Chain A
Amino acid sequence: MNVFLLYPNRDFDPQQPLPWNESDLIQDLELNVILNSMAQGDKFLYDIARRVILTSQTDLEVIRYRQQVLQDCLDHPEIIRELYQIPLQAIENKRKRWLGIFTHYPSGVLVSGLEMMAMFVELLQKLRRIADQHSSRFHSPGFRNFFATVQRELDDDFFGVVEDHLKALRFRDGVLISAELGRGNEGINYILRKPNPRNGSWLEDLFRARPPEYSFTLHPRDEQGAKALGEIKDRAINQVANAVAQSAEHIDHYLSMLRNELAFYMGCLNLADQVRELGHPLVFPEPRPIEERRHTSRGLYDVSLALTMKKAVVGNDLAGDGKELVIITGANQGGKSTFLRSIGQAQVMMQSGMFVAAEQFTANLCSGVFTHYKRREDSSMKSGKLDEELSRMSAIADHIRPHALALFNESFAATNEREGAEIARQITLALLERKIKVFFVTHQFTLADGFYKQGLPNALFLRAERKSGGRRTYKLFEGQPLQTSFGEDVYRTVFESAP
């Protein structure tokens, strides 16, 4: 039995490794604000949300599958919250009744296993009832399949057979064991046996040639002997005890998978509540195949900023279809970083199957999101700033692959502009040739203008606007990079342009 609410044909692996640049992504894209909103103080919800969002899917099928499941959740939040209570109840019961298999003796394992099994059977019955009552109101393939499996596997027959076995495993008539002589004439292959049924009448039974049989009885105060007998029994029931305990664990595992996979959607419900309260739009994005180059949006905004400011933030439109290099220049405090962040957020949210913060959003999938942001100076003085930036870039180079999305924010500016721009140019060029989509926020006119003058058809230049008088709109427009620093400019005019 599988839950399969996050993938059409496999379980979610809560232990799957996070991308190596997890902490950079969280820091640079301000994902903590989003994750905290999803968690609402629940550490478990936080962990699951973090893992699902950071492990981007690159399979369109999976993303659409989740979008449909999430739509069902948004339509019936109260049923989802009721369903989520079942695995929580299992945890609560185990804690309250001290259930669990802690013993090191097979007989103990068997007793604990039977107890656990009885508790789980009750919860499974509850799950069946929810499926019977509500399944018809769900439309996503994920939920339809989930409820159908519950109704098929947990039928009435099943509950009957389990009851019978739980009774039989108490061994009222003694334990029958077969064995052989192993090394050193020590008994081996202890196997639990079912006594042969008696056949024939009592008279036949009486005159039947009986095999020889010898016996002994322990002294009632022979405690050592009683313990030894217990050990022999333990060896024989080891297998059965294991089977019962493992079955209990399989059910436990099933319920915790249910908890894991629902937790993600619970987080999405929480986030949707918060954002809608602020009056902001959320929309299911339209993901496109990884080889396409699509990036268009209307009203794309930074959801972390919106949640933090608790008020309206400016959304941006983007017409980036066919583009592989987007260079953003312009005024300080003009919304460049916010825009870059919203690009990254939308990408990871889309690739986890979530809605995104926009009125409309279409983009191709990417093989991975990489951020390279300017960082504060390393206080340990181990390496210079440029050295530090380059070593982070080198780590990215170790992991980045074609069709990735790379976001640079004021990178490689920790040296003089000509050198910095040259390093940035070489890196950007190499990435583009490896089919990596690059968004580059920069102050470096030399870098931006250099690319602008090449007139690349796949490059897009955006500028943060500053109206006359220094007023900022936080909106970005398409536009040629402008010279913002003057010193070098003047120098050039005087010394280089002289006839």
Chain B
Amino acid sequence: MDSIGLLYPSPQKAAGVRDQPPAYFRDLNLDQIVDWITASKQDYDLKPDYYTAVQDEETIRFRQEIVRDLMTETTLTKMQTFAAQMVILRRYQKLSSEIDHQNHREGWFLEAALVYVRSVLQLEQDLSSADLQSRGLLAFRQILGTYTASSEFQRLRDEAEQLKKDLSAVRYCVLIKDTTVKVRPYDGETDYSIEVEKTFEKFKQGAVKDYLVKLNIVSSMNHVEAQILDLVARLNPELFERLHRFCAEHSRFMADFILTFDREMQFYVAYLETILPLMKGGLKFCLPAVSIRSKEVLAAEAFDLALAIQLRGEIARIVPNDFQLSGNERVIIVSGPNQGGKTTFARMFGQLHHLACLGLPVPGREAHLFCFDTIFTHFEQEEDIRKLRGKLNEELIRMHQIFEQATPNSLLILNEPFNSTTLNDALFLSHKILQRILELDSLCVWVTFLTELASASEKTVSMVSTVDAEDTSRRTFRILRRPADGLAFAISIAEKHRLTYRQLKERIPS
């Protein structure tokens, strides 16, 4: 059967998957995002796919189609159900491989086979009723249909279901007295617990603690249970003979293309599972328009996804921001008060681009983004005593390395460079660097306290972190496009507490 993938439109495009994160991952907190997304999905080895930003519009569209199909939430739920079943299936297989006692081992083998046939059939049904548009899922649906109709699959299913039905119908009694155990068929004896419960019923009153002991029923059998099971098998000899034959005949029952589908689907599911709760909390995500040519980027109500994940319990604290570069504009200069969200803004700009080039939805209401070749970040580093060079020297060397590699298609994200030197020096160096960036014509976000940079060229755009009009000590975390300045307002104290006659009447219901 053809191997059909969900990540690339054709196998040739799949070349070059990274096994290590790109250098900018840590500065942009993308490492936190990927750790969070993959935390409960360790078995799938998804990280390399999240590391690898695609530089190909067609692959991005191929993935965006699949995301669109999954964004109808019922389809996503169905994929999650299937994945959950496959997790159970693997657990049963592992269990079965570790058990020595035959009747027990074969019991778990049968369970694994049952989970497999049931979940594959369910998947086939779910997909056939789903309204699919993506090339990836349509192709998979077709192959799956052929497989489930095959006689090989049908026989596996029928035998497994019949065996399970017959085993479930077995009922037996165990009489334990001292160290002797007798096993015999169940003969209609009445439930003693019910009789006793009835007697004490009159006391029932309100909720009390549950003394039902959560007996730790692990899937293992001690030798007493195993002996009892063997006696039950002696009471039902033909049934257990059939079970032995089933296990011998179907030792390898799983199809490879199903395994591939299970893993690659998780690339989407894991990400959507992370962002859906944020969307329910009111944050917006969108599939961006991604262009390999146009550097006119924009985003509305965009935010830092790593921060949103951290603050997922208090989403109201997330402050979305907009940006837009049109015409010749290339560089955003972000200035304003400290702790005002400037660094977060810079990270957000980088994250949006990386996520867009994974073909995934990005945090924001609307976005047009650029299909970059790589991102260069320059964030403050802890001083490294081994390098034996001054901090400024170190910074300039790192800056130089960036310009050796950067192309017009690279993104540059600079976070307060040169803040370890005098103001004059910083200004001088910054102007020099800015000049090189403008000549290179790459997109850049530059966080700085040097407001002078903001108006350096018509290719630069000034954005400013702002303060609360009522309380100038409070940061709003809004970053607005406007000339750099700082304003403070004072208002009447009673109004601030919403205690004027009119405000108070509104607050107290009549």
Contacts of A253 in B (CB 8 A): 205-206, 208
Q: Is the CB of A228 within 8 A of B499?
A: no
Contact mask for chain B residues 163-174; partner A; CB cutoff 8 A; 1 contact, 0 none: 000011011111
Complex: A398 Cα to B204 Cα, angstroms: 40
Residues of chain A within 8 A of B176, CB atoms compared: 174-175, 177, 229, 232-233
B181: contacting residue among A158, A195, A215, CB under 8 A: A215
CA distance A194 to B502 in the complex (A): 75
Q: Are A196 and B189 in contact (CB under 8 A)?
A: yes
- Asked whether any CB of chain B lies closer than 8 Å to the CB of A427, the reply is yes
Interface size of A by Cβ–Cβ distance < 8 Å? 91
Q: Which A residues are in CB contact (< 8 Å) with B87?
A: none
In the complex, whether A314 has a CB less than 8 A from a CB of chain B is no
Known interface pairs A193-B173, A398-B507, A423-B499. Does A187 touch B225 (Cβ–Cβ under 8 Å)?
yes
- Nearest B residue to A389 via CB reads B497
The reply on A387 being an interface residue by CB < 8 A is: yes
Contact of B222 with A by CB under 8 A: yes
Distance in Å: Cβ of B364 to nearest Cβ of chain A: 35
Is B184 in contact with A211, judged by CB distance below 8 angstroms? yes
* A434–B505 touching, CB < 8 Å: yes
Complex: chain B residue closest to A108, CB-CB: B213
The docked-state distance in angstroms from the alpha carbon of A402 to that of B229 is 71
B397: Cβ under 8 A from any A Cβ? no
Are the C-beta atoms of A212 and B497 separated by less than 8 Å?
A: no
Give CA–CA (A233, B213) in the complex, Å.
13
| B175 close to A239 (CB less than 8 A) | no
Chain A residues within an 8 Å CB radius of B168: 180-181
Whether, in the assembled complex, A106 has its beta carbon less than 8 Å from a beta carbon of chain B, the answer is yes
Is A393's CB under 8 angstroms from B499's CB? Answer: yes
A246 close to chain B: CB less than 8 A: yes
- A219 to B393: give the CA distance in the assembly, Å: 81
Interface residues of A in 344-383 (CB under 8 A from B): none
Does B177 have its Cβ within 8 Å of any Cβ on chain A?
A: yes
Enumerate A242-292 residues with CB–CB distance to B below 8 Å. 242-247, 249-251, 253-254
Chain A's closest residue to B103 (CB) is A185
Mask of B212-231 contacts with A, CB within 8 angstroms, 1/0: 11010101011111011101
- A427 interface neighbour in B171, B189, B504, Cβ under 8 Å: B504
Q: Which of A229, A231, A394 touches B498 (beta carbons < 8 Å)? A: A394
A104→B215 CA distance, assembly (Å): 9
Of all chain A residues, which has the CB nearest B191?
A191
The chain B residue sitting closest to A231, CB to CB, is B215
Q: A179-B172, A216-B181, A434-B510 are in contact. Are A426 and B501 (CB under 8 A)?
A: yes
Which of A11, A397, A436 gathers most chain B CB within 10 Å?
A397
The reply to whether B215 and A229 contact each other, CB–CB distance below 8 Å, is no
Complex Cα–Cα for A201 and B205 (A): 46
Within 8 A of B (CB), among A179-224: 179-181, 183-187, 191-196, 211-218, 220, 222, 224
Binary flags per residue of A413-452, CB closer than 8 Å to B gives 1, else 0: 0000000000100110111011110000000000000000
- List 4 tightest A-B contacts by C-beta distance, closest first: A185-B107, A174-B177, A228-B224, A193-B189
Q: A184-B95, A196-B189 are in contact. List 17 more A-B contacts (CB 8 A).
A: A104-B213, A153-B202, A178-B172, A184-B108, A185-B167, A187-B229, A192-B191, A217-B179, A224-B223, A229-B179, A229-B224, A247-B204, A390-B494, A390-B497, A402-B509, A426-B499, A435-B510
24 A-B pairs in the complex with CB atoms less than 8 angstroms apart: A105-B213, A175-B177, A176-B175, A179-B171, A179-B174, A180-B170, A181-B167, A184-B107, A185-B106, A213-B184, A217-B179, A225-B222, A229-B179, A238-B215, A239-B193, A241-B211, A245-B211, A250-B203, A250-B204, A387-B493, A397-B498, A431-B504, A434-B505, A434-B509
